[in-house]
Structure 1
Amino acid sequence: MKLRPILAALAAFAALTPTAWAQTADDLNTLEQQLDASKSLQQQIAAEREAIVQEQAALSQKLIALAEKIQSREAAILAAEERLQELDAEQLKIHTGLAARREEISRLLAGLQRIERNPPPPLVVEPTDVLSALRSAMMFGTIVPELRQEAAALSAQLARLETLQAQTLSERESLKDHVTRLLSSRREMTDLQARKKSLLADTNERLKAEKQRARELAAKAKDMKQLLATLEEERLKAEAAEKARAEAEAKTAAEVKAKAEAQARIDAAKKLQPRMAFADIKASLQYPAQGQILKVYGANDGFGGTTRGIFVATRADAQVITPTDGHVEFAGPFRSYGQLLILNTGGGYHVLLAGLGEITAEQGQFLRAGEPVGIMGKSAAPGTLTGDQLQDGRPVLYIEFRKNGEAIDSSPWWIGGFAQARG
């Protein structure tokens, strides 16, 4: 069954004249060019789509800011409406009070008018009518203060009413302004939302249409490729025999070259290995930074346990070096230990340096003893502090040696054992 497609292709190929064959090859070449062009166009559309997605993200931020502005306007409108309600209520109260006192106010005004027309006679005008003058003065002295008090109260209410009317007018203008701005912001939001929804519509349709066109072109190209595949296979067989002969001649030279390259790789690997086994370099390592040793391996850590490494207090921005050869397996921040450097020194040994402020070595890099790997920070990382050093304030470099993953005492490796870290 598998031979049928091949036989059919051979039959079709045999029926082709050289001219027809050339035309078929040209057609296939044209289709492939069209496919390449379609692929480029799809990539261009995809890039446009990505730009549109970014624009959508920007529009989203604008919509968020605009929504916040709208809510602020709505809050201002609510506050203005509440103030208007309070002003209207107070005006209504004053109007109601004035209406209830309409008759009393009328009498008050009439009394004031009568007093104005008939003031009490002064004694110097009518000295003969002393009794009448006294009576009038007594009545005037009783009535006038009461009328004056009533008039003052009425005047205050009318002044308050006038003030309330002015405030109400101002608040209504403010409310009108807020509403106008709110409507403007909502129209802007509607426009932005519509733009955001429509941004990808056209691009998605273009990309969809171009992908469909590419599928149709690929189907045509597949038929032509199947037709030409058989002839290409025969040509390749002939070329394979010639290639085999050439490869046989070149095999010896290739083997020599491969051996040379292998030896070069071995030599390069040797160059990137520690010069001595880590177990054999005891009593020869310099401390990574200058400073004061606060705690050594196995000491009380101040938290009810024992230390697993060495704690060295340094000055701020102190230079840190690698104490030995090794490959950098990790370089970067780690939990509360600040910047952490893990050095693979071979033979199952690792050296950990924690508490750095900045690491200049890179993961995967091979370092020689004494190479700079970073600097300390301005203060100690929390993970490098012991219980009795919490208030020290100085940066602390934590040094830990491990063998097959377990912490070990590093004192045998240092020059001078636990002397001050001055080298």
Structure 2
Amino acid sequence: MQRAPSLTVLLIAGFAGASLAQAQTATPAPQAAALSSEAIKQREQELEAARAQQKSAEEAQAKLKAEITTLGQDRTQLNQQLIDTAANVRTVETKIDEAEARLQNLNGREQEMRTSLDSRRADIVEVLAALQRAGRRTPPALLVRPEDALQSLRTAMLLGAVVPELRGRAERIAVELGELVALRRNIATERDQLAADRDKVRNDQTRLTALVDERQRQQASREKDLDAEKTRAITLSRQVGDLQGLIAKMEQDLQSAAKAAEAAKQAAAASQAAANAKPGPAVFKDRSRTSPAIAFASAKGLLPFPVNGNKIRDFGGSDGVGGVQKGISLATRPGSQITTPCDGWVVYAGPFRSYGQLLILNAGGGYHVLIAGMERISVNIGQFVLTGEPVATMGSTSQVASILATNASQPVLYVEFRKDGTPIDPGPWWAANEGEKVRG
């Protein structure tokens, strides 16, 4: 069956006589040669612009490297930059999510309006016929855009070219076209802002990568046997079958993890006196700290989520494979930056069973925080990390087996809190505004 003509076809058809002459005019050979020469010139300009852009990028990289090296000499400044840049990335990621949602709605409205206009093609044909009878010679090529169709209708009504019985229909079409033109402008504005945000997040991610590399370079210089510890950690992880066994094995048999666990124990004892205090977010301001700002038990209502995303499973619900969810699962954007929800020492960082890449923090006081499903972890065992510090990056697909079982199309981060080896509900620990950022 032959398809009905679209609005664009009908608009052009109204001026078929004028466009036919243009279509039948062939481009002379000299003009074709000129076009070829012009294309070559344009290509040369594009190459020159690409070279200039590459040179600018190299200069920016060199400047960034020098800046990061200077920052690296002051651990407090480096920590501040790490946390601030990671927060900037998270903020822009949120703006991108919101802009994409708005664009989806706007594009849907545009399609509805186009469908409505297509359904009025008979009216449009009559209006165009009236324009032809009035002897107007509007260039047909301009009418492929809603803006030009709207202008033609407005001009026709102004000149009285539309017969009275068609004026009402023409005005209704003009209103719809006006709404479509305004909608297209909104879409163009949103797309421009989205492109700018994506450029910004790419720049921030480049900076964040350099900061993380400098942090890990310093860590490596302090821990001479770092590679051996990583290898031993993976070997030990294969000897246990569950998370509690892994935690116990790491903190008992691995030197750096054991040191981290002991440091967490001492910090918990030192902060016990303040366990009943009610601190606010300001307690995390000190970037030079080398132990938790407050006892983990006192941090209820203060901790940020480690990633932007949609909560797809909550504590106590089904885990998708016949069991009960012992933590929360957050669907994220591919490549999202993961930050620490709390202060703590890394006691495991690497692959484990069906969890993909797994990070375990000892937060002191018998509390452990487990984060799984990342593609790459950027911290080492024994390292102390601050709340909001970047520690890992998501991949493009889910890495957690239980999530894969439900055919999740997005990467998914799994977060679990434990007290003395038993999973607990992390809900009371999240900051009040986190419920707005992570949608359930």
Q: TM-score when scaled to structure 1? A: 0.34
Q: TM-score when scaled to structure 2? A: 0.33
Larger radius of gyration: 1
Higher relative helix content: 1
